[in-house]
Amino acid sequence: MASRLIRPRLSLSRLYLMAGNKNGRFLSTESNKVDEPFKVEEAETVNVPPPPEKLLVLGGNGFVGSHICREALNRGLNVASLSRSGGSSLLESWAKNVTWHKGNLLSSESWKEALDGVTSIISCIGGFGSNSYMYKINGTANINAIRAAAEKGVKRFVYISAADLGLANYLLKGYYEGKRAAETELLTKFPYGGVILRPGFIHGTRRVGSIKLPLGVIGSPLEMVLQHAKPLNQIPLVGPLFTPPVNVASVAKVAVRAATDPVFPPAIVDVYGIQQFSQQMSR
Give per-residue pLDDT as tens, 73-96: 999 999 999 998 877 666 778 889
State the total domains in the chain. 1
Q: Is residue 42 part of a domain?
A: no
Strand pairing report for 120-123 and 156-160: parallel
Q: Which of 203, 184, 207, 194 is nearest to 243 (CA)?
A: 203
Q: Does residue 151 register a pLDDT over 60? A: yes
The C-alpha R_g of the chain, in whole angstroms, comes to: 31
pTM listed for this prediction: 0.77
Q: Which of 63, 58, 91, 69 is nearest to 205 (CA)?
A: 63
End-to-end CA distance of the chain: 104
Q: Is residue 46 part of a domain?
A: no
Q: Is residue 208 part of a domain?
A: yes
Q: Is residue 32 part of a domain?
A: no
Q: Mean per-residue pLDDT for 33-57?
A: 61
Q: Which of 98, 206, 106 is nearest to 147 (CA)?
A: 106
Q: Is residue 39 part of a domain?
A: no
Q: Is residue 26 part of a domain?
A: no
Which pLDDT belongs to residue 220? Answer: 64
Q: Is residue 215 part of a domain?
A: yes
Distance from C-alpha of 104 to C-alpha of 206, rounded to nearest angstrom = 24
Q: Output the domain CATH number for residue 224.
A: 3.40.50.720
Kindly indicate the confidence band of residue 122, based on its pLDDT and cuts at 50, 70 and 90: very high
Backbone dihedral region for residue 124 (phi beyond 0: left; psi -120 to 50: alpha; all else: beta): alpha
Task: Name, in order, each residue with C-beta under 8 angstroms of 283's C-beta and a sequence gap of 6 or more.
Answer: none
Give the domain range for residue 219: 54-231+245-281
Q: Is residue 41 part of a domain?
A: no
Distance from C-alpha of 142 to C-alpha of 77, rounded to nearest angstrom = 23
